[in-house]
Amino acid sequence: MAKSQNDSSFRAGLFKFSLYKRNQGRLVRQLTAVAASILIFFGTYTLSKGPLSSYANSYLTMTARYVGGEADAGRDTKLQSLAEAHNGTLAVVTDGRRFQEREFHFSTSRNFSTDQGLVDEMKVSAAGFASDIESQYGAGVRVSQPRGQSRRAVGISIGIPVLLCAIGLWLVFRAVNFPRFADFLISVEAEMDKVSWPGRPELYRSTAVVVSTMFLLGFMLLAYDVFWKFFFELVGFLRIASS
């Protein structure tokens, strides 16, 4: 029953602008809000520059088809490196019984719009890449016209992260003013005020002890490794091939 009341009170508090005990625990509450806001900002920024960016941006598509169903584990790595040399990326991998297909994308977007100069540049890059893989792998290659970029897609790639960021920031603001959580943060700051912080000389000594101990343990572990390696090689239990 208490949990249900707390949940309902939090939902009711989402639409309030009041501050709970605004003069208590200000430092911890502000730092908590700033840290959470930074995580939300970078999360929505990554969303905008990641999945939503590939959804909104225009690109040139080049598809290479190979005869045969046997997958070549090393080929995709080589193709990826070759594509990157031509400013492209391996986007879709399709393995069938009779053929294998690899789709590569060449970005033609700049500043959330299709750039004609970049389109021409990517056509040249795609043609060079197609020539390379045709000669090296005997693949059948086709290059499509660049996909158009719609205002709706650009609006979604920008609007959704902005909306999520705004909602997240508002939830952070209300969370640090939610009575239960705010009282917890207030008590955290009260306990922090009771901490006896070391002076600068004591801090230097403690740091020197910790760093020295870490190096000592590192050297000891290294000595153990060298000793046991030498011992196991001596008795013939361990054999390491020379390069």
Per DSSP, 109 falls in state B
Given this model, what pLDDT does residue 161 score?
92
- 17: enclosing H helix or E strand: none
Is residue 31 situated within a structural domain?
no
Residues 139, 62, single domain; the answer is yes
Given this model, what pLDDT does residue 116 score?
80
Structural domain range at position 135: 58-148
Transcribe 165-197 into DSSP letters: HHHHHHHHHHHTTSHHHHHHHHHHHHHHHT---
Minimum mean pLDDT among 61-70, 85-94, 179-188: which range? 61-70
The C-alpha atoms of residue 127 and residue 62 are separated, in whole angstroms, by 9
Q: At 72, is the pLDDT very low, low, confident or very high (cuts 50, 70, 90)? A: low
1 pLDDT higher than 50: no
Across the range 103-125, mean pLDDT stands at 81
Of 148, 163, 191, the domain-final residue: 148
Residue 54: what residue type? S
214 pLDDT higher than 80: yes
> Looking at residue 102, which CATH number applies to its domain?
3.30.70.360
Is residue 122 situated within a structural domain?
yes
Minimum mean pLDDT among 6-15, 21-30, 164-173, 192-201: which range? 6-15
Going 70 to 74 to 76 to 79, the CA torsion angle's sign is negative
Nearest Cα to Cα of residue 62 among 153, 133, 149: 133
Is residue 18 situated within a structural domain?
no
Is residue 17 situated within a structural domain?
no
Looking at mean pLDDT, say which of 36-45, 72-81, 156-165 comes out highest.
36-45
Counting the structural domains of the chain, the total is: 2
Strands laid side by side in the 89-95 sheet: 89-95, 99-107, 59-67, 140-143
Is residue 166 situated within a structural domain?
no
Given this model, what pLDDT does residue 237 score?
75
Across the range 114-129, mean pLDDT stands at 84
103 pLDDT higher than 90: no
Question: Per residue in 155-212, pLDDT tens?
Answer: 878 888 999 999 999 999 999 998 889 999 999 999 988 888 888 999 999 999 999 9
Is residue 142 situated within a structural domain?
yes
Relative to beta strand 89-95, strand 99-107 is: antiparallel
Of 110, 126, 148, the domain-final residue: 148
8 token code pair: 């309902």
Nearest Cα to Cα of residue 80 among 40, 150, 129: 129
Given this model, what pLDDT does residue 86 score?
86
b/e map 132-149, b = 16+ CB within 10 Å? bbeeebebebebeebbeb
44 token code pair: 């929505």
62 pLDDT higher than 60: yes
Is residue 116 situated within a structural domain?
yes
Is residue 69 situated within a structural domain?
yes
Given this model, what pLDDT does residue 3 score?
52
